Structure 1
């Protein structure tokens, strides 16, 4: 594949830490293997609409208008940081594509890799079948593509059946999605690979941080909370851990939540951080408490003690659970009500498991 031009199709435009960092990681890993690649600047109308709504302001009362104006201001500032990251660190195609001109992409690239992230979650894309590479007949690969759920509707099965059987190589992120792919008649090998962020090692991520953030002596010890879903017992547990270890608490929110902000005035609430500042917050933390897949992933990569909350109203976050199961550290699941928050992770074992997964990915991506 080294002589071919590769186009990566993913959610690179989302103002989401995991989305841009997994895109960066896959691009860098292919580059290390001497494979020229670009992230295709595809604009999915459904995703564009979802993110544009973050900047709209409307409300029935003056108070709701104030709340929405604050949220809009936070989102604008945060979005600027993501635009800057994409400009500085992602090699994105000069041409922009959409539903109307997507067939032009096949004139530019020899191989297409779709993934990672929830590119095969039809709810996320508004049923945009571009993420099944329906505009091209050959050179169709996926890498760690996620469906974002463990079952699909009959309508979705029909879409999968029509689209996925023309793929030359299929790699998914979650083990339980194998049966779904098989159920639509896919006969080729189905590979299960780790999220692209694991393709780069700790030193490579630290090098990225140091391009913008000079390493300084930490002024204060802190526990980091990072949530993408409403936490259940996470904040309470984090505060308890911080008190016992004489740490302050920093709460990084994925979105501005008015209620959470005023409910947690005794801790430092943070809303506007760049992807690199996000990495540094995890790197310098004493311990991480999170409901996020990528919050969990980077805690592992930086070898930080962490706790993940994966169950919300009986709905399991399979992405986190599968990752911890794969690395043999399911005991970091906070929902299991650990007797102590001071138990330590055997990083030697975790490191070995991550290396095994990285080798599997290397074989998949570079062995034709």
Structure 2
């Protein structure tokens, strides 16, 4: 039995981030190894994910509380649902680490250090840190399983960042990435042939995820589940058009703190359900009549849970493009310039999509198991 320490975006209050961290740990445990998630949570990350009325100085907090008072309770519940998932669903390291220096000072006893998935190698992420390149490791095997460099790798990287990436990548024993774009760039930059692996959420079957979902739907009746990690006007417009076409409501699980978004909260066919953590997110995905958005993990769980979906401009995002191409579902990407839904309401061959994922799943599990020995 190997002792594996995983570092990833496990504490980001983001559905995909936390579910992929959970999945990766479960897969490693299922292979018979001991696995902990290194509880690395920077101050800036913790601050960012607090409810909006807990940001800033006291005066600002009071003002924001009055701005958000109608949703203060569900937003607070949402925060604690994420924190509960973190504390109850992961096996965490005994200590919490806030800085790279904290990690450097620690005498870890892991046999293998694994840099996990999600956008941990996207240097423009607000919570990016060189710790995710395992720069703190003194001794032990170093593996990267499917980290992402974002929708467009290296577009905004500085010369210093590219030098650091080359330096840290050279110290790894095995490197894989989540998207072909990242693989191409690493080959050009470092001469490293990094195989493309599935996101950890795809290493677990749809049946596995369904077992985590409370059978009772959170929302009564038919609905369209809208999800995008950031506010996108085109996504909301397309959701409204689909709602009008199908005659069913749109359910949204977050607010975006954008003035442009306020108008949607007043729409009679838009329902905001904000007290939603990772498990509740799965419930909303599973029980939706349709899902629509601009999110890699919305596409992942729509396929795994067999929920009809439309992703807006999905083929412009390297992460989503890879998944749609793999599953032969490129037709589910709707350009934001289009307004005719007729071709997007056709039957989706989820059996073929999940069979194709299963083939890739076995390849990825074999790679992971081989490199954990």
Report TM bin, short chain.
0.7 to 0.9
Greater shift after overlay, 21-30 or 118-127? 118-127
Partner Cα separation in structure 2 for residue 33 and residue 7 of structure 1:
14
Partner Cα separation in structure 1 for residue 316 and residue 71 of structure 2:
28
Q: Hey, what does 2:351 align to over in structure 1?
A: 348
Q: Hey, what does 1:147 align to over in structure 2?
A: 149
Residues 169-208 of structure 1 aligned to structure 2 (within 5 Å) = 169-187=174-192, 189-208=193-212
SS at match of 2:49: helix
Partner Cα separation in structure 1 for residue 61 and residue 83 of structure 2:
32
- The alpha-carbon distance between structure 1 residues 254 and 279, as it changes in their structure 2 partners (threshold 3 A), is farther
Q: CA deviation at 1:4?
A: 0.7
- The alpha-carbon distance between structure 1 residues 52 and 223, as it changes in their structure 2 partners (threshold 3 A), is closer
Partner Cα separation in structure 2 for residue 217 and residue 154 of structure 1:
48
SS at match of 1:100: helix
Q: Which runs of 5+ in 1 are unaligned?
A: none
Matched, 1:253 2:218: no
- The alpha-carbon distance between structure 1 residues 197 and 105, as it changes in their structure 2 partners (threshold 3 A), is farther
Q: Which runs of 5+ in 2 are unaligned?
A: none
The match for 1:274 among 261, 274, 277 is 277
Contact map agreement 1:14 1:51 (CA 8 A) in 2: yes
- How big is each residue's C-alpha offset from its partner over 1:69-113, in whole Å with a ceiling of 9 and x where there is no partner? 667665433211111111221111112223233135553211011
- How big is each residue's C-alpha offset from its partner over 1:312-363, in whole Å with a ceiling of 9 and x where there is no partner? xxx9332222221222211111217355131121122211211122112111
Q: CA deviation at 1:248?
A: 2.5
Partner Cα separation in structure 2 for residue 246 and residue 49 of structure 1:
40
Q: Hey, what does 2:165 align to over in structure 1?
A: 160
After superposition, the CA RMSD in angstroms is: 2.8
Contact map agreement 1:106 1:135 (CA 8 A) in 2: no
- What is the TM-score normalised by the length of structure 2? 0.87
Matched, 1:9 2:7: yes
- What is the TM-score normalised by the length of structure 1? 0.88
Partner Cα separation in structure 2 for residue 309 and residue 120 of structure 1:
24
SS at match of 2:212: helix
Aligned residues: 359
Greater shift after overlay, 320-329 or 242-251? 242-251
Residues 1-368 of structure 1 aligned to structure 2 (within 5 Å) = 3-52=1-50, 54=52, 55-57=54-56, 66-67=66-67, 75-97=75-97, 98-103=99-104, 105=106, 107-124=108-125, 128-136=129-137, 137-148=139-150, 149-151=152-154, 152-187=157-192, 189-209=193-213, 213-215=214-216, 219-253=220-254, 255-257=256-258, 259-265=260-266, 266=268, 267-310=270-313, 316-335=316-335, 337=338, 339-340=341-342, 341-368=344-371
Greater shift after overlay, 297-306 or 120-129? 120-129
Contact map agreement 1:220 1:248 (CA 8 A) in 2: no
- The alpha-carbon distance between structure 1 residues 257 and 278, as it changes in their structure 2 partners (threshold 3 A), is farther
- The alpha-carbon distance between structure 1 residues 138 and 218, as it changes in their structure 2 partners (threshold 3 A), is closer
